[in-house]
Chains A and B, each alone.
Chain A
Amino acid sequence: MKLQFNQDDEIFRREIASWLEENLSGEFAPLKFRGGPGDEHMFPEERKRWEQRLAEGGWTCVGWPKQYGGRGLTIEQQVIFYEEYARAGAPGRMGHIGDGLAGPTIIAFGSDEQKARYLPGILSGREFWCQGYSEPGAGSDLANVKTKARFDEAAGKWLISGQKVWTSLAHESDYCFVIARTDPDSQAHKGLGFFLVKMDQPGITVRPIEQITGTSEFNEVFFDDAECGAEDIVGAPGDGWKVAMGLLGYERGVSTLGQQMAFQNEFDEVVALARDNGAAKQPAIRQRIAQAHIGLKLMRYNSMRMLSGDKGDGSLQREALIYKLYWATWHRELGELAMDILGPEADILAAPPYELNRLQSLFLFTRSDTIYGGTNEIQRNIIAERGLGMPREKRW
C-alpha cells in the first residue's frame, strides 16, 4: 500500500497542468469554473469549441485504448488528468457523455462499423451525445421502459416511438443512445434494444424542463417514429439491458476523482465565505465545515481504494457500491451548509427575476444528486441486495 504517485506520473501531472494553463486563455478564459452541474446550460457553443481544443491536444478520451484513438492512459494518469482538469477550473465537459459513456459502450459492445462511424466524432470533439434511459414511467424502475422500436422491413430501418425524460443537454447533442423495447410483448429487462439515434430528424422533439433553479439543462425528448439505421443497434435486439448495464461500470470510473476536485473548489468557496462573514467562529458551523472536509477527503480515499482494486473490467466492488449514495449525500449537505453559512443572505438573489449565485445554485441543484442515476433509496436497495446478499425486492 502506498500513496505516492511515481515520478513518471508526476511528470505527466506537470504536462497536463501546463497545457491547461496555456490553453485556458484568450477566448476560453471566461469558461473557467463554468458549465458544471447546475451550470451546464451555459456557454454551450464556447464549450464545444473547447472540446475541439482539447482534441487537438490529444486530451479527449484519455482512458480509451490507443487502438481506438484514445490516449491509453493508466488509471493513475487518468486520475491525475481529471484532478488537474478540475483544479485548473477547466469547463464542464460537453463531451463527457460521448467520452465516458457512449464511446466505451461502443468499444465494448459495438460493431466495427459502429466504431468506425461514431468514435472519430467523439475523439475530435465535434459530435456530442446524450443518454435516453429514463421515462415518465421508468425512473427508479428503469427496466419498465415503454418506448418501442419496431423494424420497418420495407425501409430497412428501426422506427422508435415513445418519450424519454431527464435527458441532459439533449438540445445540444448530435446523437442519443436510447433503450427501447424491441419485443412489444416483453417485460422488464427482457426484450430491450440499445440504439444509436441521430437527434436532428423530424421524428424527434426536444422540450426543456424548467427546474427548481429556474434554468433548464434537463429535457424531455419525444420520439415519433424516429428513424434509426438497421446497423445502429448495439448488440442484438434483446441485448439492450446487458449493454446498458455494462455502461454503469464506466459511470463509476476514474472521472469520480475529477468530480471531487470540482467539489473541492466548491468547498473552498464555502470556507472562504465562512471566514469572511464570521460564521467560522460559530462552534456548530465549525463542526459542519470540518465534517464536510472530512467527508470529501474520505471520498477521495474511497476512490483511491476503488481504483486500486479495479480489475479493469467495469465490475463493481463493495467499495464501489456505496460511492453514489456517499457522494450525493455529501454534496447535498454541502449545499445546505453553504446556505446556513450565508444565513439570511441566502435568500437574497444576485439579480431579478431569478438569478442565483453559485452557492444558491449549488443548494438547489444538489437536490437532484440524490435522485438521478438511482435515488438514495434505490442505492440502498442495491447495496443491501448486491453487497450484502439480502433478499431482493418483490415485483408486484
Chain B
Amino acid sequence: MDFAFTDEQQMIRDSAETFLKATSTSAAVRAAMSTELGYDAELWQRLCGELYWQAIHIPETYGGLGLSYVEVVALFEQMGRFLLCAPYFSTVALATNALLCAGSEAQKADYLGRICAGSTATLAFTRSRDWSVEGVSADFQRRGDEVVLNGEYRYVIDGHSAEFLILAAREQGCDQPSGIRLFVVTAEQAGLERQVLPTMDQTRRQANISLNNLCVPASAELEHGDWQALEKTLQLATIALAAEQAGAMQQLLDMTVAYTQERHQFNRPIASFQAIKHKAADMMLRSEVARSAIYYAACTADTALGDGNAFGADLAEAASIAKSWCSESCFSNAAEALQMHGGVGFTWEYDVHLYFKRAKASEHLLGDSSWHRENIAAMLLD
C-alpha cells in the first residue's frame, strides 16, 4: 500500500499546475467564457499537440500515453483549480471513458485515434435530473443495416461543439436497462440538432440535443455498449468531476486566506479574527478530505479500467463517496470564500463568483450529494 503520488505522478501534477497557472489565467477564462464556443481553440490545440493530455489514459495500442486514472485525476484537479475552459471533461471524462468501456477493438482504434489527434467528443444520455442509466432519454429502432434514433437530451457538456457524440438510447418498447445501447455518431448530420444553452456558470457549456429520425449505420452501435458500460462511464466521469471540485476547493481556500491576510479592518488583518480563522480551518478540512476521496476513487477507477470483470460495487461506491463529499464541500468553500471576501466577493471583477457559479453547476451535474448518498444508502440498507 502506498497512498501517495509516485515521482512521475507528482511531476505530471506539477507541470499541469505550472502550465495552467500561466495559460488559464483570470483574463483567459473571462475571454473564453464570453465566446460562443466557450473555450480558446488555440489553447485546446496546445493541450493536445504539446502536452498530449487528451490521450492521457488512452492505451498506447490506440496511440495514447497509457497512464493511469491517478494521472487523469491529478490533471482534472488542476483544471478545476484554474477553471480551465476547454472541451476536456467532455472529451476525456465522458467520451473517452465511454469508448474504453464500450468500444470494440476496431471502434477504439478509430475513435480513440481521432481523440488522440485532437478531435472533441461528448456523451449525451439524459434530459432529467436522473443521472442513473434509468434517465436515458432517447430510443432507437433497428431497420435492416441501419438504426433510427429519436429523443432529446439536455445538459450535454460541450454538446454544441463536440465533433462526435456518444449517444445512449433505449430500444423502443423495452423499459428495462437491458434495452440500453450506446452509439457513436458524428455531430454534423441530418436528424441531429444541437442548441447551446445559456448558463449561469459561463465556464462550461451545455447543450440540448434533439434526435429526429437520426439514421446511422448499424456499425455505429458500440459493441459492448450496454447499460453497464454506460454506468461505468458515468462513474468514471463522476470521479473526474469530483477531482475538478477538489481542485477548485483548494484554490478557493488559497485565494481566501491570501485576501484575509491583506484586508485590514479595525487596524488588523481580518485573518486574525477567530471567526475568520475557524471558517478557513473548516475549508481546509473539507479540501484535504476531498483530496483523500478523489485519490482513493482514482485508484479504484484504475483497477476497474484495468480489469473488465472487477468493476462492480467498488467503483460505484468510490464515485458516489467522492462526488457526494466534493459537491457539498466545494459549494461550501465557494460560499465561505465569497462571504469572507465581503463586498468585493459580490463583484464581477473578483474571480470568486466564477468559482461560486461553477461550484453550484458542478454540484448538480452527474448527481448532487443527496443523490449519491441515496446510492450509498441503497447499497447499505436495501
Contacts and interface: CB of A to CB of B under 8 A. Distances in A.
Contact of A380 (B261, B281, B292): B281
B381 interface: yes
Contacts of A11: none
Nearest to A1: B70
Contacts of A287: 370, 373-374, 377
B381 A286 contact: yes
B280 A1 contact: no
Interface residues of B, number: 49
Interface in B1-17: 1-6, 9
Contact of B281 (A9, A79, A383): A383
Interface in B286-344: 288-289, 291-293, 295-296, 298-300, 303, 317, 320-321, 324-325
Contacts of A383: 280-281, 284-285
B2 A1 contact: yes
B17 to A, nearest CB: 17
Contacts of B9: 1
A390 B261 contact: yes
Contacts of A322: 284-285, 288-289
A2 interface: yes
Given A302-B292, A383-B281, A384-B277, A289 B377 contact: yes
B267 to A, nearest CB: 13
A384 B184 CA distance: 50
A298 B376 contact: no
B376 A293 contact: yes
A388 interface: yes
B265 interface: no
A286 B382 CA distance: 10
Interface stretch (A54-62, A193-201, A304-312): A304-312
B376 A290 contact: yes
Interface residues of A, number: 50
Nearest to B324: A294
Contact of B380 (A290, A304, A326, A381): A290
Contact of A290 (B1, B261, B377): B377
Interface in A256-305: 271, 274-275, 280, 283, 286-287, 289-291, 293-294, 297-298, 301-302, 304-305
Contacts of B298: 1
A379 interface: yes
B278 interface: yes
A301 B1 contact: no
A332 B281 CA distance: 19
Interface stretch (B50-58, B115-123, B192-200, B268-276): B268-276
Contact of A294 (B1, B253, B274, B321): B321
Interface string B1-43: 1111110010000000000000000000000000000000000
Contacts of A275: 381
Contacts of A384: 277-278, 280-281, 284
B96 interface: no
A4 interface: yes
B278 A377 contact: yes
B282 interface: yes
B302 to A, nearest CB: 8
Q: Which 8 A-B pairs have the closest CB atoms?
A: A384-B277, A383-B281, A380-B281, A290-B373, A301-B292, A286-B377, A391-B272, A290-B376
18 contacts: A271-B381, A290-B380, A291-B324, A294-B320, A294-B373, A305-B291, A305-B295, A308-B2, A319-B291, A325-B281, A381-B281, A384-B280, A384-B281, A387-B281, A387-B284, A390-B271, A390-B272, A391-B271
